[in-house]
Amino acid sequence: MEYNFRDIEQKWQAYWKNNNTYKTEIDPAKPKYYVLDMFPYPSGAGLHVGHPLGYIASDIFSRYKRLQGFNVLHPMGYDAYGLPAEQYAIQTGQHPAVTTKINIARYREQLEKIGFCYDWDREIRTCEPDYYHWTQWAFVQMFNHYFNTKLQKAQPISGLVKAFETVGTEGIQASCTEELNFTSTEWKAKSEKDQQEILLNYRIAYLADLKVNWCPALGTVLANDEVSEGLSVRGGHPVEQRVMRQWSLRVSAYAQRLLDGLSTIDWTESLTETQKNWIGRSEGAELRFDIKGQDFNFEVFTTRADTIYGVTFMVLAPESELVKQVTTPEQASEVEAYLDATKKRTERERLADRRVTGVFSGSYAINPVSGTEIPIWISDYVLAGYGTGAIMAVPAHDNRDYAFAKHFNLPIIPLIEGCDVSEESLDAKEGIMMNSGFLNGLTVKEAIAKAKEYIAEKQLGRVKVNFRLRDAIFSRQRYWGEPFPVYYKEGMPYMLDESKLPLELPEIDKFLPTEKGEPPLGRAKNWETQDHFPLELCTMPGFAGSSAYYLRYMDPKNDKALVSPEANQYWRNVDLYIGGTEHATGHLVYSRFWNKFLFDLGIICEDEPFKKLINQGMIQGRSNFVYRIKDTNTFVSLNLKDKYETTQLHVDVNIVSNDILDTEKFKNWLPDYANAEFILEDGKYICGWAVEKMSKSMYNVVNPDDIVEKYGADTLRLYEMFLGPLEQSKPWDTNGIDGVHRFLKRLWSLFYKDGNLLVSDETPTADELKILHKTIKKITFDIENFSYNTSVSAFMICVNELFTLKCSKRGILEPLSILLAPFAPHVAEELFYVLGNEGTVCDAIFPVCNEEYLKESAIKYPISFNGKVRFMLELPADMSKEDVEKAALANELTIKQLDGNSPKKVIVVPGKIVNIVL
């Protein structure tokens, strides 16, 4: 009987479905384990072979944990809202809900073919009302809470209102957009509208006028992580800065907790680093500068308080509100012109062209420490959104200030002994201070500390921590997203009552903005409350639905709550999360924020959502090339191409095998090539190759369905793991897949020969047991360490050795089939079944290594001289160190090597090696 993977895989996939093998329920008798994949966006292109890499890895771990007796939660769903479906809808008129449904069906079909152990009863789709009900609900909670900076947690906004009523802003410790000051009397005197406006300054979900990334091509604003180098991450369209009234989430309030939490979770170092940089904590001082001849002052943030004596000018961001106040009448027209010019420049232009630009405001500030007068300039190299939007410039020790000073011919005062600032600034925090009054003679490090102390003591400012992390802009002027549960009364936003949730996405006639330029929801009929208050026209961004989806899997059908306390307390949080690094500063920040917020509310019991996180590498494409001789339809094989003048052309990798082109398929591939002729080498056409991004245009996309069709799901699973370390990026190269398939056939041949079952009940020999237990040990270790490529090797070695011994004994093959089940579940099920077992291999018990079987009676010692191995010497395993040394020295080959000399030293590592130093 042949290894008929098609029948086997069909049979067991049907069995799993019919027997609910992967249905998961709360079971207090068992320890839980939650394994999660980053759920996919169901694109129209379907899955390519890169997608399953992480899914296979998590599937192996899920199955392994189950075999070890854990109650494993391993769900899958779809991140179903998003731009591509809507762009497609604009082009074709096809409703995004329809295309999304089709795409999901395709994904599901592809995923099922690979044999994952997902509990499909828990599937979620972010675009379904019973799911986004809870996205909207969470938003309402964020609106109703503020962040208490003293408690470092979210608190009901009602508490803040109470405080305003009794003491005003006195002693308020709340994260806010801007510092406000008013008394309780003032608060009470305000209109409802004004009070609401003030509360927006504190709410965790708030509406505010913000400088945002506006993408005209997509017709929407984007969050910081959705923009890279002035272009939208999706589509690569230019992005410009605009001030718009937008919903935002006060993620920045959680900056410190997001940072602290990183040390409590087991993520890769590179990922925690990326998040740390994104959060960007910097410790420094906020320093107050008076303005000459005026009765107001302003503050700057600096991490280099030690350089206060080197400040030769100040710079304000063009958007800073101070600009108006400091501009003198004489400079007004020049400043005006500059502001106009900068406004016209897009973010991209500013980044591409780093010319030094700026204008003098006409005013002078007073150095609070030295008392000197320093000019105040305006320049776009200072960002309005960071710190106070104003800086003190120290050209000698900051390269940006240096460039500015050189350009406008401003003084440069060096502050470090022996430094040369004639060509460039000295930015490093090292050296001994000079020209710095009370700081002279100190090291930079000491000076920073002393200066901060001084500033605090003299009340010139205060010690301050700044974060780079910004609030997340939460409005999108698009259709295909969650509607906000928001209506407007006198222009102020109010939340819908929870009983009105979910607020369902309405139908519209066209997926485009209205003639008035409103978002697409402006087209919806009766888009208002029962009392005729208008509803919000924006929808939520992509990360809204993905921020708490892992919680919903715990209790996906609950219509009373996001997750019940029982389900949450049992499943707690994700034990193992596998996905790509591209979410490092987006989803993985927002999810942690969202989780912490719900934790503050007592809805969930864990402060961090993902305990352990592994990033699978990207699967790159491996493109193949053919070489057409110029002006002909003749193609020349790779190693002969240099003899001709050729053009390199991409060829579909699916008609190439082991870099050999199927010339007949090539002729049928594209009409142009129907009459192609070939110059072959050794009767074959060899293609060139290169590693490129996997994309349609490179003709290097490989569909997992094709691999499953040709080799079976088990081969695909094993091969994807065999390709290399999980976390490493690697090209998809089908060249090695035959070896993995051969392995399965060889395994099969231990069970069957010529259609007869070979399995016997004979007692296994010591050698056979050693092979088995060596493999158990290795596989267990490798799974725990996610070293799946070496596991596959270990299986191959095991089967090769059993094959050599012609071992078909049940006592070996049965544990082996269980061991293999996480990796190749279909064939494992079948083999487990033919061995006479009932039910599924999923309910078996993972074999445990018995060290007794691994004991060796003899060890082959490599005998090395000065570290170079010269020969092997077999000695009893229990021989003492001294006896090993004696035996090694007494050996005639040693005597020959020594050549009459006596060794200087002999190193014996018992069980390992002998090194003789000459």
Partner RNA sequence: GCCCGGAUGGUGGAAUGGUAGACACGAAGGACUUAAAAUCCUUUGGCUUCACGGCUGUGCGGGUUCAAGUCCCGCUUCGGGUACCA
* Sites for RNA among residues 110-139 (CB under 7 A): none
The piece of 32-40, 194-202, 272-280, 531-539 that touches RNA (CB under 7 A) is 272-280
User: Which of 398, 482, 575, 652 is in the footprint of RNA by CB under 7 A?
Assistant: 398
User: Which of 733, 768, 814, 829 is in the footprint of RNA by CB under 7 A?
Assistant: 733
Residue placing its CB nearer to RNA in the complex, 48 or 400: 400
Residues 6+ apart with CB under 8 A from 683: none
State how far Cα 767 lies from the chain centre.
46
User: Which of 138, 210, 223, 584 is in the footprint of RNA by CB under 7 A?
Assistant: 584
Restricted to residues 362-381, the positions that interact with RNA (CB under 7 A) are: 380-381
Q: Per CB under 7 A, does 735 bind RNA?
A: yes
Restricted to residues 435-474, the positions that interact with RNA (CB under 7 A) are: 466, 468
Restricted to residues 878-907, the positions that interact with RNA (CB under 7 A) are: 905, 907
What gap in Å lies between CA 130 and CA 559, rounded to an integer? Answer: 7
Query: Three-class SS of residue 155?
Result: strand
Q: How far is the CB of 598 from RNA (least distance, A)?
A: 26
Residues 6+ apart with CB under 8 A from 571: 26, 32, 34, 73, 554
Do 384 and 317 contact (CB within 8 A), yes or no? Answer: yes
User: Which of 112, 692, 738, 885 is in the footprint of RNA by CB under 7 A?
Assistant: 738
Q: Per-residue x/- mask for RNA, residues 199 to 228, rule CB under 7 A?
A: -------------------------xx--x
Q: Per CB under 7 A, does 267 bind RNA?
A: no
Q: How far is the CB of 261 from RNA (least distance, A)?
A: 18
Q: How far is the CB of 735 from RNA (least distance, A)?
A: 4
Do 468 and 280 contact (CB within 8 A), yes or no? Answer: yes
Burial class (CB in 10 A: 0-12, 13-18, 19+), 404: buried
Q: Per CB under 7 A, does 570 bind RNA?
A: no
Residue placing its CB nearer to RNA in the complex, 581 or 775: 581
Q: Per CB under 7 A, does 585 bind RNA?
A: yes
Do 621 and 692 contact (CB within 8 A), yes or no? Answer: yes
Q: Per CB under 7 A, does 324 bind RNA?
A: no
Restricted to residues 278-297, the positions that interact with RNA (CB under 7 A) are: 278, 280, 282, 284
The piece of 18-26, 299-307, 322-330, 478-486 that touches RNA (CB under 7 A) is 299-307
Query: Cα(first)–Cα(last) distance of the chain, in Å?
Result: 61
E strand segments, 356-408:
359-366, 373-378, 390-393
Restricted to residues 748-777, the positions that interact with RNA (CB under 7 A) are: 749
The piece of 45-53, 97-105, 301-309, 665-673 that touches RNA (CB under 7 A) is 301-309
Residue placing its CB nearer to RNA in the complex, 632 or 785: 785
The piece of 163-171, 512-520, 741-749, 768-776 that touches RNA (CB under 7 A) is 741-749
User: Which of 382, 421, 451, 638 is in the footprint of RNA by CB under 7 A?
Assistant: 382
Residue placing its CB nearer to RNA in the complex, 48 or 304: 304
What gap in Å lies between CA 478 and CA 737, rounded to an integer? Answer: 44
Q: How far is the CB of 349 from RNA (least distance, A)?
A: 10
Q: Per CB under 7 A, does 786 bind RNA?
A: no
ω into 725 cis (within 30 of 0): no
The piece of 62-70, 513-521, 753-761, 910-918 that touches RNA (CB under 7 A) is 910-918
245 forms bridges with which residues in the sheet?
A: 209
**CA torsion angle 217 129 591 174 (round to 10):** 90
Residue placing its CB nearer to RNA in the complex, 435 or 657: 657
User: Which of 99, 103, 436, 915 is in the footprint of RNA by CB under 7 A?
Assistant: 915
Q: How far is the CB of 742 from RNA (least distance, A)?
A: 4
User: Which of 389, 502, 609, 822 is in the footprint of RNA by CB under 7 A?
Assistant: 389
Restricted to residues 800-839, the positions that interact with RNA (CB under 7 A) are: 800, 803-804
Residue 680 to residues 662, 666, 687: CA-CA distances in angstroms? 12, 14, 11
Q: Which DSSP symbol is given to 645?
A: -
Select from 110, 105, 141 the least CA-distant residue to 125.
105
The piece of 17-25, 99-107, 517-525, 739-747 that touches RNA (CB under 7 A) is 739-747
Restricted to residues 708-727, the positions that interact with RNA (CB under 7 A) are: 722-725
Q: Per CB under 7 A, does 743 bind RNA?
A: yes
What gap in Å lies between CA 125 and CA 332, rounded to an integer? Answer: 56
Residue placing its CB nearer to RNA in the complex, 556 or 704: 704
Q: How far is the CB of 696 from RNA (least distance, A)?
A: 19
Residue placing its CB nearer to RNA in the complex, 274 or 443: 274
Residue placing its CB nearer to RNA in the complex, 316 or 626: 316
Query: Three-class SS of residue 391?
Result: strand
**% helix / strand / coil in the chain, to the nearest 5?**
40, 20, 40
The piece of 519-527, 559-567, 753-761, 858-866 that touches RNA (CB under 7 A) is 858-866
What gap in Å lies between CA 592 and CA 275, rounded to an integer? Answer: 11
E strand segments, 548-618:
574-579, 610-615
State how far Cα 654 lies from the chain centre.
30
Q: Which DSSP symbol is given to 125?
A: B
Q: Per CB under 7 A, does 100 bind RNA?
A: no
User: Which of 25, 178, 269, 631 is in the footprint of RNA by CB under 7 A?
Assistant: 269
State how far Cα 478 lies from the chain centre.
25
Select from 120, 4, 96, 115 the least CA-distant residue to 43.
96
Q: Per-residue x/- mask for RNA, residues 227 to 266, rule CB under 7 A?
A: -xx-------------------------------------
Phi, psi of 764 (to 5 degrees): -65, 150
**Among all chains, which residue has been given the structure tokens 């980053």?**
38
Residue placing its CB nearer to RNA in the complex, 521 or 802: 802
Restricted to residues 141-160, the positions that interact with RNA (CB under 7 A) are: none
What gap in Å lies between CA 467 and CA 116, rounded to an integer? Answer: 42
Judged by CB under 7 A, the number of residues near RNA is: 86
Select from 794, 796, 787, 835 the least CA-distant residue to 815.
835
Q: Per CB under 7 A, does 313 bind RNA?
A: no
What gap in Å lies between CA 75 and CA 809, rounded to an integer? Answer: 37
Q: Per CB under 7 A, does 302 bind RNA?
A: yes
State how far Cα 570 lies from the chain centre.
26
Restricted to residues 859-878, the positions that interact with RNA (CB under 7 A) are: 860, 862, 864, 866-870, 872
Q: Which DSSP symbol is given to 536?
A: P
Q: Which two tokens stand for residue 149?
A: 């900076």
Residue placing its CB nearer to RNA in the complex, 413 or 538: 413
Q: How far is the CB of 817 from RNA (least distance, A)?
A: 19
Residues 6+ apart with CB under 8 A from 649: 625, 626, 627, 628
User: Which of 730, 770, 774, 886 is in the footprint of RNA by CB under 7 A?
Assistant: 730
Select from 527, 491, 804, 714 the least CA-distant residue to 10.
714
In 490-586, where does DSSP find H-type helix?
542-546, 549-552, 565-571
Restricted to residues 664-683, the positions that interact with RNA (CB under 7 A) are: 682
Q: Per CB under 7 A, does 350 bind RNA?
A: yes
Q: How far is the CB of 739 from RNA (least distance, A)?
A: 2
What is the 3 state secondary structure string of 205-227? EEEEEEEEEEECCCCEEECHHHE
Question: How many helices, marked H, and strands, marked E, lie in the chain?
Answer: 29, 35
Q: Per CB under 7 A, does 796 bind RNA?
A: yes
Q: Which DSSP symbol is given to 424?
A: S
Determine the Cα angle at 208 with ends 385 and 300, to 5°.
Answer: 25
The piece of 46-54, 646-654, 730-738, 811-819 that touches RNA (CB under 7 A) is 730-738
User: Which of 158, 270, 372, 880 is in the footprint of RNA by CB under 7 A?
Assistant: 270
